[in-house]
Amino acid sequence: MSDQKKNGLKIYEENMKLLLLCGCLVTCTVSQYTFDDSNGLGRRFDGIGGLSGGGATSKLLPGYPEHLRDQILDYLFKPNFGASLHILKVEIGGGSMSGVGSEASHIYHDGDENYQRGYEWWMMKEAKKRNPKIKLYGLPWVFSGWVGNGTNSPYTYPERTVEYIVKWIKGAKEYHGLDIDYIGEWNEQNYNTTYLKMLRQGLDKNNFEHIQIVAADDFQAEFETNLARDMLLDLELSSAVNFFGVHYSSTQSNLGSIMWGKQLWASEDYSSFNDVKGARCWARILNQNYVNGLMTSTISWNLIAAYYEGMPYQRCGLMTANSPWSGHYDVNPTIWMTAHTTQFTEPGWIYLSHHSGVGHLVGGGSYVALTSPDKEHLTIVIETIDYADSKCLHEALPQFTVVNQTITFKLEGSFKSITRLHTWFSMLGNSEQKNFTVTFSYNGVIEPDDNGTFTLEAGINQIYTLSTVDTADKGNYPTPPDPKPFPLPYMDNFNDVVEHQEPYFVAPMSGSFEVITSPGSSNKVLRQMPILKPVDWCETENFTLALIGNISWTDIYVETSFSIDMPNATEGVFLAQRINSGGCYTVGGQGFLFFVFPKNATYEFWGDSRRATLLGFGPAPSLKANGFNKLGLKVKGGFAEGYVNGQLVFGVRMPEKPESGFPAFGTAGFGRADFDYIMITES
């Protein structure tokens, strides 16, 4: 037994003594459950995963110091260490808002094609480096304007959309050595049968027969029934789609999709704050998505909460890494709830059948059992999560009760000869349990008697894994540095940024910004790339915007130097302060935006991102039509001042709201602009 397991066993025994003293394990229910394969097995297990994207949820992770970044990635992907994920799902970026931010596209317009943009290639390679068996899954939220070709739908020109997706898959292989396993259609939008069939044809034509299609990556409401019906009437469509992918189904599946026989996935789920309450939600649905809904894969949105504080859906990841400037990160309890399944199974294992290894506990909670294809290994996962404080964010959860219970298990069939089961334990205590929490603690070995029988005392809000697999471990690194605020003053001239990448701390909300070498020089600039309006996923306006810094900032000065002296340029650029919302909520949010338009040497000062509240406008005579212009925006003591090339062009009293927010910069429309640096100081 390893030292880690010995220490875990000691901690577990001490904790159980404490619980007994507290009277937490008073037995209320006695029940027996049989694990038997004599009458066949259930469905194939396809794995547990995490989703990087939807959008820009991993944005800040690449900016961590390398040794800390490696630790974080180990907690996510390294086998027998942390979450040990089986599937990594990533966003296929389109250059516009998709949830928490915008991700880069591989094609923006005719003649443009680049497979170095963005960080999802890097994320997939890091996952594969740690676990070569991990499955890769791509799904678009936003499509670049090249796909829409003047429309706001990827289905108007389906052959173009197929080409876009196939090129992304080819780029993954040719430039990064990555083999994609699964591809989705369009996140949480109506499915299109013509496109699905053409996508299958396009994949096969390009020798990607092995790639399987998940549809429709949408909320359950009606799509499952309609898609199952359409597949029943169209055998080509049925052959094209391999998996039903459902989002936030509250552990339930539609009868039509179950009867059709396709594997069912919770292809996006969880989406909850990753404290103990969120961990209860995650532990429960990892079991009950199969117990109630026959879903053979569950994928967490999101993989890691690596985006600024103040963005939507704070800390809705399996762990948190949103402070790269300090190096601080949090290994949240959701990591260890994942480990209860992932460290003891692999995709391709098989669930036992309901009532012979899968079901609900009489005293509340659930159990699932999985076996390896050769039936040499058996894993049992038990959860007794109570109703109180365990509801996931998007879940319709009916009331239920969980009580302390004595559970007797009996192994039959191929499993009767098992003599040892390694036991791992977690408890996610509520206020009545004095918030007592233990995560993924080794609990020694259970030895069934000659009849294959053994007994377990299970309290409320507990998770047990019992398995013949003996390789599991609770990985650990030294405590990371303490968190610190975003540093001020801040200056980035982008010269240290790898070409075609975003600066680590620049977080696009709309549009896409990448570093290029300025034509005719060795100087690097940050360029806004899309010149066509993307096919949007959430509401946008005709502008691009990137945030940086801290949402709590009030009185600061922000400065940049910009040029729109190039083909396909935007008509103007802006600096902003006190932007108080991000992601899909950027549009409609508040803030103060200072626009300049070089061709007619004018400025505008607005009080919101929709440009509905005009606070000032007029000439900016120092603004040059060609070359670089220096732009500054100062906010202090209720006043705002705008500067162009060092000259004051306006000074106005600001509205009282918003009181704080991010600084930002961007363009007045989808068009090119180069930024030479970004500087932020206290005003």
* Residues annotated as part of the active site: 188, 268
User: What's the DSSP call for residue 63?
Assistant: G
Q: What is the dihedral of CA 333, 336, 338, 340, to 10 degrees?
A: -140
d(C-alpha 663, C-alpha 226), whole Å: 45
Cβ atoms of residues 15 and 330 within 8 Å? no
- Contact partners, residue 607, CB within 8 Å, separation at least 6: 590, 591, 592, 593, 613, 614, 615, 654, 655
* DSSP secondary structure of 525-571: EEEE---S--B-SS---S-EEEE-S-TT--SEEEEEEEE--STTB-S
Phi, psi at residue 587, to the nearest 5°?
-70, 125
Looking only at the bridges linking them, the beta strands covering 378-383 and 304-305 are unpaired
> What 3-state DSSP class applies to 618?
strand
* DSSP secondary structure of 225-275: HHHHHHHHH-HHHHHH--EEEEES-TT---HHHHHHT-EEEEEEEE----S
Neighbours of 6 (CB within 10 A): 12
Cβ atoms of residues 53 and 103 within 8 Å? yes
- Contact partners, residue 51, CB within 8 Å, separation at least 6: 57, 89, 90, 91, 268, 299, 300, 301, 302, 303
- Contact partners, residue 415, CB within 8 Å, separation at least 6: 35, 36, 37, 371, 375, 378, 452
* Residue 211: HSE in the Cβ half-sphere, 13 Å Cα cutoff: 29
d(C-alpha 581, C-alpha 310), whole Å: 7
Cβ atoms of residues 678 and 564 within 8 Å? no
Neighbours of 383 (CB within 10 A): 30
Looking only at the bridges linking them, the beta strands covering 182-184 and 212-219 are parallel
d(C-alpha 55, C-alpha 536), whole Å: 12
200-224 burial string, b = 16+ CB within 10 Å, else e?
bebbeeeebeebbbbbbbbebeebb
Angle between helices 66-77 and 120-130 (to 10 degrees): 70
* Residue 496: HSE in the Cβ half-sphere, 13 Å Cα cutoff: 6
d(C-alpha 270, C-alpha 547), whole Å: 27
Cβ atoms of residues 491 and 550 within 8 Å? no
